[in-house]
Amino acid sequence: MALPEIISGHVWKLGDHVNTDLLHPPSHFSLDEKRMKEGIVEGILRLGAGVKGDSSDEGWIIVAGENFGCGSSRETSVRGLSVFGVKGVVAVSFARIFMRSLINLGIPVFESGEIQGCVKDGDLIRISLKKGWIESPDSRRFPFSAIDPHLKKILEAGGLVSYLRSEKHGV
């Protein structure tokens, strides 16, 4: 499974130091997808985001500030984002454990400090993995830091478990 050349989705804009316990409250930790999704919806309300509804046909791309995903970094928060339809996360910087959880579950991460001030909730943006840019609704393009080649292999496999399976079986 290869990463698409272009990822597009609607912006879910968040600020700096977004704590995972606010993003996906511990009271919603579950393996049940409906319960996880409800937790993300509650997180939207807690964080005061302008995102409406619980999904988007095009999916969501979180655009955040510094230290995105600080706090508990529980994997269930990332699973909730995946169930909610998050296709990628752009941030100025990431809490390291949370960033690896995103990658391990197949959600691409992009470090870029320039686009956050140029988008709002609901904007449709595009990300070119091949060319290394994020395109705003007004067609401006912003660079993102290169993805580590090993992490890119994990994302291309669809996550860490799929990557390890393919390595084990030589696929």
Extended beta strands in the chain, E state = 6-13, 60-64, 86-91, 109-111, 124-128, 133-135, 141-143
Identify which has the larger pLDDT, 109 or 32: 109
Identify which has the larger pLDDT, 131 or 73: 131
> Distance between CA 100 and CA 109 in Å, rounded?
9
pTM of the model: 0.91
Q: Mean per-residue pLDDT for 120-138? A: 95
Coil/strand/helix, residue 102: helix
Coil/strand/helix, residue 70: strand
Mean pLDDT, all residues of the chain: 90
Domains assigned to the chain: 6-169 (3.20.19.10)
For residue 126, give the amino acid letter: R
Q: What is the per-residue pLDDT for 98? A: 94
Q: What is the per-residue pLDDT for 8? A: 95
